[in-house]
Structure 1
Amino acid sequence: MTTIERPLLTRAFALLFSGLLAGAFGYGAVNVLYAFRRVPLDVRFTFHTTLMSVNGFVMQSLMGLTILSTLVLAVRSTARHRWFAGGAAVLAVASFVITRLGNVPINQQIKVWAVSGPPADYATILARWEAFHFARTACAVVAFLLVVMLTLLPAKEARP
């Protein structure tokens, strides 16, 4: 592989994984979240629990691959490209941290609610879950935009 092909391949992986992550979170924010709000609570809690158990592996893998690919891109880049890729990596890490410390604990509560019913303050807790979801979605979308911008910049700054 030539020195030009390797940075292009690294950019392609960073673009692919960050785009998939932003798209998955974005779809959840635009479609799934609003569908959750329109169904009865027992349906929402059951579906939420099922969806999160399926999403667990997929989304953690996408976050990990986004972090790894943007870090590799940052290491293999110089100057302005390094800042874009490093910023994308930081935002991907932020989406992971928000998910693990914000959404996942609430998901565990919702799992219990699906069986035993919600507590009196469930609406406040669901609003907090939504705020965490919008925050991690924003991080993922901005990370993707940084990789897109980096991809559109001239390639002369990439390391061999």
Structure 2
Amino acid sequence: MLITLMSFLALVSTGFLSGILLGNRLGASFALPRLPDSAFVQFQQAVHRNYVRFMPVLQIMAILSHGWLLLLLRNSAHPTALALFSFAAAGSVIVFAITLTVNVPVNKKLMTWAVSNPPHNARELWRPWDKGNTVRTVFAITVFVLDVLAICLTMPRIF
């Protein structure tokens, strides 16, 4: 029962996280370069105010649920699932590390910018965030796919 719960939490947290990050990469990241700097800052500040509430929860939930899964499956009859969850756990930690070391510092700077008078080099200051976000998006999607594969391997055959 605990394995099922932790698998569910891992899948939900990594699914939401990868969906949010991919949505940004496929949508906003193409529109933002076309906006004037003041609109760019206003948009990013609005997004940050929303995401700062639940992104940490999703990332911590992903790390903790994977940790529990590794503990619960360490003597499992599913060594492939254990390996997949191990890689997913490592990927979740990498996503969180990128967030803390790259994205959070840039977001903190962003929140100090005046919409009416953004820094003249706002796009240059934002560039590390964009690069970090691209890398963590790739890792988040990979983690989600690994979770799906691991869960499929441990499910009873219904077909």
TM-score of the alignment, normalized to the shorter chain, above 0.5: yes
TM-score, structure 2 as length reference: 0.85
Whether the 8 Å contact between 2:99 and 2:132 is mirrored in structure 1 is yes
Q: Quick one: structure 1 residues 47 and 149, their matched pair in 2 at CA, closer, same or farther if it must change by over 3 Å? A: same
- Measured after TM superposition, the shift of residue 73 of structure 1 is 1.4
- Contact between 2:88 and 2:142, CA under 8 Å: does it hold in 1? yes
Aligned to 1:118: 119
How far off its partner does 1:155 sit? 4.5
Name the CA distance, whole Å, in 2 between partners of 1:108 and 1:6.
37
CA-based RMSD: 1.8
- The aligned counterpart of 2:3 is 7
Partner of 1:137: 137
Report the alpha carbon displacement of residue 94 of structure 1 after superposing the two structures with TM: 1.0
Paired residue secondary structure (1:112): coil
1:152 aligns with 152
The answer as to 2:63 corresponding to 1:67 is yes
Task: Say whether residues 1:45 and 2:46 are aligned partners.
Answer: no
Separation in 2 of the partners of 1:40 and 1:119?
Answer: 11
Letter in 1 for 2:24: G
Matched, 1:107 2:107: yes
Contact kept, 8 Å, 1:75 with 1:82, in 2: the verdict is: no
Distance 2:63 2:129 in 1: 23
Which runs of 5 or more structure 1 residues have no equivalent in the other structure? none
Contact 1:21 1:66 in 2 (8 A): no
Aligned residues: 151
Q: How is 1:84-95 mapped onto 2 (pairs within 5 angstroms)?
A: 84-95=84-95
SS of equivalent to 1:118:
coil
Aligned position for 1:33: 29
Q: What is the CA–CA distance in structure 2 between the aligned matches of 1:32 and 1:127, rounded to whole Å?
A: 14
What is the TM-score with the length of structure 1 in the denominator? 0.84
SS in 2 for 1:26: helix
Shift of residue 83 of structure 1?
1.7
Q: 8 Å contact 1:87–1:143 — kept in the other structure?
A: yes
Provide the identity percentage: 25
Contact 1:14/1:70, CA 8 A, preserved across alignment: yes
| Equivalence for 1:82 | 82
Kindly report structure 1 stretches of 4+ aligned residues shifted beyond 6 Å. Answer: none
